[in-house]
Amino acid sequence: MSWTKLLCSHREVQLIGTLNGGQTFRWTHNKDNDEWIGIFSKTVWKLRQSNDGLQYQVIGSLLSKSNKNNSKKATVAKDVNTELFTSLLEKYFRLDVDLVRYYKEWSEADELFKSAGQQFYGVRMLAQEPVENLFSFICSQNNHISRISSMVEKLCTQYGEEICSHEGTTYFSFPEVQKLCEPKVEAQLRKLGFGYRAKFIQKSAEQIVEWGGEDWFRTLQDMKYKDAKEELMKLHGIGPKVADCICLMSLNHLEALPVDTHVYQIAAQNYLPHLRGKKNVTDKMYMEIGDHFRKLYGDMAGWAHTVLFCADLKKFQQNGKEDESVKPKRRRIK
């Protein structure tokens, strides 16, 4: 199977920090050949990195005409589809953003970022699909990454559409929001171990469908950041942190800054010492932390802080490589 290359410097894209830093939960890393396999846009991708580019293979896709007739067979993107898949990958990684330039600006504004950015270069803010992003982060509440990934895969297996099988694994798309809004979904998800999150998922899906489905998310993209966040928090079980994750990762509000335990600790230890030792983060403190970094980094503060977040994760603190012995939690601040 041939590879297609997107030309870009390795300083512009670092896969390990981007795909394994808590933004998304559907990528796995094969350390033997340093390749990644994951799913987005109803497509199964394989990625690898070189000094001068990002290489990809399409293992299977519901977007490919050749795959629709037999979804159980892995398919290769034909020449006619290469432009489509390349465009999807460029959009997903936001490759139109000159990240080296922004790293320079953020480093000039902040010595801590300058230090972190030397090791954690090329950490990109993924442009994710809002439905998948929202329900993935509902699963993330009071949870750790391996269990979040398991829950997301259960959602896909139970309610998604089969894309293909590859090397003994069957891959599914993330379910349409209409599949998650039916009343029986809550009971089904509780049986699958989702706990209280089952109700959040079903009720939020029901609201989204009532408000217009995918079109509703597009209206949020056109709103100002704070207005979009307020609308998201009207969903069942969506608090400030999850709303900020969706704004940042799916709605192009790159100034959004989700405040969890790690972010609070980074802020208190390095920037806002008067916040040290607090047991809980109040709404006022949450806003103070976000506003501090927005003032420091500008209208892409959420992206800049994601680099600090990666640098703070213990699993990345061994020469920038993943430490398998550590499974960090992305806990929710109460």
> Which residues are part of the catalytic machinery?
241
User: Vertex 280, ends 275 and 282: CA angle to 5°?
Assistant: 75
Q: DSSP string of 137-206? A: HHHTTTEEHHHHHHHHHHHHHHHS-EEEEETTEEEEPPPPHHHH-STHHHHHHHHTT-TTHHHHHHHHHH
Q: 52 φ, ψ to 5°?
A: -115, 10
Q: Is 233 exposed, middle or buried (0-12, 13-18, 19+ CB in 10 A)?
A: middle
Cα dihedral 324/116/92/147 (nearest 10)? 30
Residue type, 181: C
Dihedral sign of CA atoms 15, 332, 153, 134 in order? negative
Query: Distance between alpha carbon 198 and the CA centroid of its chain, in Å?
Result: 20
d(C-alpha 127, C-alpha 93), whole Å: 6
Of 296, 315, 317, nearest in space to 305 by CA:
296
* Token pair in block for residue 17: 């920090």
Phi, psi of 83 (to 5 degrees): -60, -40
